[in-house]
Amino acid sequence: MFRRFWLDVILGTIFILGLMGLFSSLTAFKVFDIMDPIGEAFSDMEFTDVYFSQLLDDPIADQDVVLVNIAQESRAGIAMMVDSISQYNPAVLGMDTFFHFPKEDTLGDLMLMDALGRVENLVMVTKVLHNIETDEFDSLVTSWPMFTWNSDSAHANLVTDASVQEDLKMCRLFTPILTLADGTEQQAFAVKLASYMSPEKVDKFLQTAKEEEIVNYRGNVLDYGATKFGTKFAALDVSDVFLGNYVPEMIEGKVVIFCYLGKYLGDRESLEDKYFTPLNEIYIGRAFPDMYGGVVHANIVSMILNEDYISYLSEVQKWTIMIVVLFLNIMIFSWIYKKLPKWYDGVTKVIQVVELIGLPYIMIYALDLYNIKLDLTILLFAVAVSGDGLEVYYGVVKNALSREGRRELFKVSRL
């Protein structure tokens, strides 16, 4: 009897895993999409987004990173802005925009080339392209060489869900280093910028960095309520630079990022280079992106300089936790099924409800208290199907495999 019980627990666990695999394959083929308008609204949400948008304590504003809005300024205008800022000796000036080809305005191009050439520490962005056929990063998009000769380069690729939903660019992750097919490496734009401020912190970070790292968001620039924590980074608009509405101390020794922040500082309508982030106040069924790419890079720089990282589980760890908890569930549910059959449905549902409510709280507070992102989504799925799935195992699968069970199935009793 004892051996049979543990055999049922093992086989029941395997059966539940099989059900999960079947359901996963069906959803992969979008079988249920027509019946799931609510699921579509939740598809871009993670439980930990609640922490960032609702529970995160008000962070201290970052004093080491300053953003400069280039808006729709001409190259000649950007050149004058670069000259104005660089005279106050920033630790590094990062240019988060491309100047792909020379323009008809030759004078503007020459002014920009000259201004960039005078910057002591300059980092220009690149974009690493992924070849789907070879599954390699095989090429690099850069600005025209006349603008990059005095600069270091670093990739501005951010990890988004744009491939899942074309209208969604949710950014939770970034790639610290991308390796091209020829073996050359490109550090992330934010990592390269941080290395000018604190090379020892960057070295320490890269020694333990995963292929993809979670962005521990601190806040936004002026955003008029798009995120919970606006104005956590100082930002200068085009007019501020031209009119000199800033003090040298604001620039000296700081990381300065030239980037697009809208047609004007505080512009919420422009969508160019704009992303959804976990700081978005509307974290279910998001309708409007909340953060420009340059500010995402600023958050990454701040995270590295403050050594304020978020750890997360590997796929092996997630599956291990899921299988262990599922096995324990099946063990308890099997005992109830055999010893308290009349109580099975009620008691198992109560246990499942407690788990389904408790696990998200554990996920949120693990992030809040220990900076650990526990992605237990697959465990929640396992818990949700374990009770009814085990009943199917005992009531259908096990009976179908026994002679007595099959005989009872075809035995017709009078009403």
pLDDT > 80? residue 24: no
Nearest CA to 189 among 88, 90, 299?
299
- Residue bearing tokens 């031209």: 242
pLDDT of 188: 98
Report residue 42's pLDDT band, with 50, 70 and 90 as the boundaries.
Answer: very low
Chain centroid offset of residue 17 CA: 27
Query: Is the confidence at residue 282, as pLDDT, over 50?
Result: yes
Q: What pLDDT score does 162 carry?
A: 56
Contacts of 56 (CB under 8 A, 6+ apart): 228, 229, 279, 368
Using DSSP, state whether 192 is helix, strand or coil: helix
Question: 183 pLDDT exceeds 70?
Answer: yes
Report the DSSP beta bridge partners of residue 256.
66, 93
In this predicted structure, the answer to whether residue 329 has a pLDDT above a threshold of 60 is yes
In percent, how much of the chain has pLDDT > 90?
Answer: 67
Q: Is the per-residue pLDDT at 206 higher than 60? A: yes
- The region of weakest confidence among 45-49, 214-218, 327-331 is 45-49
Ranges of H-type helices in 118-247:
145-148, 189-197, 199-208, 238-243
Q: What are 67's strand-pairing partners?
A: 235, 257
Contacts of 27 (CB under 8 A, 6+ apart): none
Q: What is the pTM of this model?
A: 0.86
Q: For a pLDDT cut of 70, what percent of the chain falls above it?
A: 88
Span of 3-7, 26-30, 305-309 with lowest mean pLDDT? 26-30
For the chain, state the CA radius of gyration.
Answer: 27
Residue 36 has pLDDT above 80, yes or no: no
Tokens representing 175 are 């790639």
Whether the Cβ atoms of residue 48 and residue 278 lie closer than 8 Å to each other:
yes
Mean pLDDT of 44-71: 84
- Which residue in 388, 391, 321, 383 sits closest to 354, CA to CA? 383
CB-facing half-sphere around the CA of 112: CA atoms within 13 A: 25
Q: What is the pLDDT of residues 225-264, one digit of tens each?
A: 777 788 899 999 999 999 999 999 999 999 999 999 999 9
In 3D space, the residue among 215, 110, 202, 102 whose CA is nearest the CA of residue 154 turns out to be 202
DSSP-H helix ranges across 87-150? 106-117, 145-148
Residue 164 has pLDDT above 50, yes or no: no
pLDDT at 259: 98
User: In residues, how long is the chain?
Assistant: 415
Mean pLDDT of 20-47: 56
DSSP assignment of 51-71, as one string? IIIII---PPPEEEEEEEE-T
Query: What pLDDT was estimated at residue 287?
Result: 66
Least confident stretch, 16-20, 45-49, 250-254, 357-361: 45-49
Indicate whether 284 pLDDT > 90: no
Concatenating the DSSP letter of every residue in 344-396 gives: HHHHHHHHHHHHHHHHHHHHHHHHHHH-EE---HHHHHHHHHHHHHHHHIIII
Looking at residues 208-213, what average pLDDT do you find?
94
Would you say residue 221 has pLDDT above 50? yes
User: Domain residues of the chain, as ranges?
Assistant: 2-35+312-405, 59-309
| pLDDT at residue 52 in the model | 81
Instruction: Round the average pLDDT of the chain to a whole number and report it.
Output: 88
Pair 123, 95: CB distance under 8 Å: yes
Encode pLDDT of 91-137 as tens digits.
999 999 999 999 999 999 999 999 999 999 999 999 999 888 888 88
Taking only the tens place, the pLDDT of each residue in 374-398 is 889 899 999 999 999 999 999 888 8
Q: Kindly indicate the confidence band of residue 58, based on its pLDDT and cuts at 50, 70 and 90.
A: confident
